[in-house]
Amino acid sequence: MMIFKSIIESLARSIVHLHTEETNTTVIEKFRVGELGINREALARSLSCIYLRDSFVVSLAYSDSDQVDSLVRHDNASIEAFCDRLKLQIDEESTITGILTITITKGFAGRTCSIYSLDLIEQYWRTGGVAQSATKLRALSERSYIIESSEISSTFSSGLFVFRPSGQTLFNITNPETANKEKLLVARDKCCLFYESKNYQFIPQDFNLSPAFEHLGIRELFNTLKLIFSIIFLADVSSLDSKILTATIKGYRHVTGTIQFDSFKDGDVATAYYEIYLWAYTDGSVTDKLGIARNLLSIHIDGNDFRALRDGGMPAIISNYSIYLKDNVKQYIDIKNKLSDQIQKQSEKASEMVKSIGTYLRTSIFSVYSFVITTFIIRSMSKASTDVVFSDGIYVIFIMFITLSIGTLIYAYKEAEAELNRFESIYDAFKSRFDDLLSKSDRERILQNDQEYKRDVEYVKNSRKRAVCLWLACLLLVFLFVTVIKLLKY
């Protein structure tokens, strides 16, 4: 790594490399030094290449004593003090030997992580096998989703990470996680038996780096993981131990094979399985699609080697699925007719709700009008014509009728609201009833993107609003009329 090489060259003339290691959280370089040669300016320039979010320790442990000189900051004063201590040792002894260790502890500010050597981080990710690799990547993704490296020249992304060149901060990067990841995991658990499903909550998109990654080793690492998790989402049964995936596909024949890290280049075969996975888990019945995919995969896999997938698998699967759909066209037409009938029933239900509100309105208003008109008729036929039309007793009874009418209004409104909520719930439940039989696009096309349903809901709301306004206006008009008559003592 150029940073560490420049740091050691700014401090020593005679060096022997001992150890290099990079993990998700640290980078360690160790050298044996035999002759110090201090270049303060070069040291300052080298340390400035360490990412500001990371911390570091440059330490020299002398061979002939337990003394250690360390540098932990890259400001000029700290560098000067460190170099002065080393210079003092040189002045006291003609030959200085020891172990120089450079340790960087990575920070994760802004969900961003530094990678100093793509070769070393690939080696770390691969160590321990498939399961360990997935565990290490999951641990890193929980702390950061942006990975910066000075060894790449453009941006690459998968469902877990965005790899970008160092210093590229010209735009904001959001979490690249696939939006429907949880839904895909639930669908997998319904159709596939993956023994370690709780420990490895990955989907193939998590390892689908786009575009093709610059570093060959990491590109092939992600390709192998994409292949493994695509198979997990397609196989009937799969298990992932520390170093190997074992999976079984039960189709026209049973195929049981294994996948592990090795020298294979998995780009093409991973893409083939990934395309089948995307097809199976997009629209329509996942169960039916997986049944067809497993049948065709079992005859396109050579022996029990999942990597030996013959060409033509995807076209054969699509062709067989088309035949399957034609065999089920009668069922499709029946479902379409049921949905169309439901649309008509929903419209009739909406009309009934509006009529119900209108019935309450007519009944309530009629009762008030009848009372007022009856009072007029009785008073006009009365022999005691000097009596007022609306005495105090009759006015109290009138107020009671008005109050009952308002109570009826409130009840009618609440009942209409409850009916509308029930109307919406029934529609949503009916829509979801055919999720396993119709693709989302087919369902939306038959239901016209819910246009009829939305018009019915709007019609009910507008009619209810008009009825309430008319109801209140009529009651207010009658109340004012009777009250004026009473006050004028006619």
pLDDT of residue 424: 76
Question: What are the φ/ψ torsions at residue 15 (nearest 5 degrees)?
Answer: -135, 150
Continuous H helices in 142-192: 181-191
CA dist 32 and 30 (Å) reads 7
Q: How far is CA 167 from CA 52, 200, 224, 413, in A?
A: 11, 32, 30, 62
pLDDT tens digit sequence for 251-300: 889 999 999 988 788 999 999 999 999 999 998 889 999 999 999 999 89
The helix, strand and coil proportions of the chain, stated in percent and rounded to the nearest 5, come to 55, 15, 25
Provide the whole-model pTM: 0.66
**What DSSP string runs through 411-428?**
HHHHHHHHHHHHHHHHHH
pLDDT tens digit sequence for 167-184: 766 567 788 999 999 999
pLDDT tens digit sequence for 376-423: 666 666 655 555 666 677 777 777 777 777 777 777 777 777 777 777
CA dist 66 and 232 (Å) reads 54
Q: What is the DSSP letter of 154?
A: S
Burial class of residue 144 (count of CB atoms within 10 Å of its CB; 0-12, 13-18, 19+): buried
Q: Tell whether the model's pLDDT for residue 120 goes beyond 90.
A: yes
Which amino acid, one-letter code, is at 374?
Answer: T
pLDDT of residue 437: 55
pLDDT tens digit sequence for 133-170: 999 999 999 999 999 998 999 999 999 999 999 876 65
**Strand positions, DSSP E, 215-262:** 237-240, 244-250, 254-260
211 preceded by a cis bond (ω within 30 of 0) = yes
Res. 104 pLDDT band, cuts 50 70 90: very high
Q: Are 466 and 429 contacting, i.e. CB atoms less than 8 angstroms apart?
A: no
The two tokens of residue 81 are 């003090």
